[in-house]
Amino acid sequence: MSDRLQLQVHDLEVQVLTGVYSEETHLPQPLRISISVDLDCPEHFAPDTPLSASKSYLDLKAAATTSLPKGVHFTLIEGVADHIAQTLFIEDERVQRVEIRIVKLAIAEAGESIGITMVRHRR
């Protein structure tokens, strides 16, 4: 069994072109995106360990914000999650597992969370 380091960024609110129904396909809609990434973990983190031994949390945030292609309509939020996962795998070979949770904020009527969780493993 190998050690893993899990980085997390939760509750990013992102405007994304997504949806199946005609009323969803013209304007971006708000999604709440949370990401957890499992990395290979060094044997020890000393007080002076450099950031290169881990990964910047900002990389996770960018995968869900600035790395999403502008003007592209994702029919399913599963496509949004898959794009985020693939971005993180391509950026860093130490990423072994990505978990993305997406909540569609526009369809909640009473504060409930309606959405998906996708887990991808490096192949």
Can you spell out the DSSP letters for 33-86?
EEEEEEEE--S---TT--GGGS--HHHHHHHHTTTSPTT--BSSHHHHHHHHHH
Does residue 22 carry a pLDDT above 70? no
Within a domain: 50? no
Helices (H) and strands (E) in the chain, counts: 2, 4
Report the pLDDT averaged over residues 62-80: 94
Within a domain: 49? no
Within a domain: 38? yes
Domain span holding position 18: 4-43+55-121
Return the pLDDT at 111: 82
Strand pairing category for 4-16 and 29-40: antiparallel
pTM metric for this prediction: 0.91
Report the pLDDT averaged over residues 88-94: 95
Does residue 19 carry a pLDDT above 90? no
Return the pLDDT at 20: 85
Within a domain: 48? no
CATH of the domain at 76: 3.30.1130.10
Within a domain: 18? yes
Does residue 108 carry a pLDDT above 90? no
Kindly give, in sequence order, each residue whose CB lies less than 8 Å from that of residue 59, ignoring residues fewer than 6 positions away.
88, 91, 92
Closest CA to 100 of 22, 11, 25: 11
Report the pLDDT averaged over residues 33-48: 92
Gap between the Cα atoms of 108 and 119, Å rounded: 23
Decide: 84 and 98 in contact? Cβ < 8 Å: yes
Gap between the Cα atoms of 46 and 41, Å rounded: 13
Looking at per-residue pLDDT, the higher value among 107 and 105 belongs to 105
Res. 110 pLDDT band, cuts 50 70 90: confident
Return the pLDDT at 1: 67
Res. 24 pLDDT band, cuts 50 70 90: low
Q: Is 21 helix (H, G, I), strand (E, B) or coil?
A: coil
Does residue 117 carry a pLDDT above 70? yes
Q: How many domains does the chain have?
A: 1
